[in-house]
Structure 1
């Protein structure tokens, strides 16, 4: 199991969440097995998202989607996200 962690700040959590929730069909069609959203206790606009994939290749392909980049721009992400990929052991 491969998990992608993405942490970023958004300009408005509520607006970002609408875009994120509207992206679920693209996630499902592109190998996302499960996902979760975490919000910082100190800053509601500091978000960490996890997506689980069956393989590292599926995770890499998802992260390269132009649809994903477009959704991130539309969602109001501030600055560059911090992204890391981990394998469940």
Structure 2
């Protein structure tokens, strides 16, 4: 199993969360088996999201979706997200 981690700051958490929640079907259709959202304790607009996939290839493909990039822009993501992949052991 591979987990995709994405950390980014958003302009407004409530706005971002609406867009994120509306993206659920796209996540499922593209291999997301589980997801979680974390907010930094000192900055509620500093978000880390995890998405689990069966394979690294599925995670990498999802991370490059144009629909994902558009949703992040619409959700008010600021700057360039930090993205990394890890395998659960």
TM-score above 0.5, yes or no: yes
**Shift >2 Å, 4+ stretches:** none
SS at 1:45 equivalent: strand
SS at 1:44 equivalent: strand
* Length, aligned pairs only: 89
Any residues of structure 2 matched to 1:1-89 within 5 Å, and which? 1-89=1-89
Taking structure 1 as the reference length, the TM-score comes to: 0.99
Taking structure 2 as the reference length, the TM-score comes to: 0.99
Unaligned stretches of 5+ residues in structure 2:
none
Q: Deviation per CA, 1:16-48: give whole Å up to 9, x if none.
A: 000000000000000000000000000000000
Unaligned stretches of 5+ residues in structure 1:
none
Alpha-carbon distance in structure 2 between the residues aligned to 1:63 and 1:4: 8
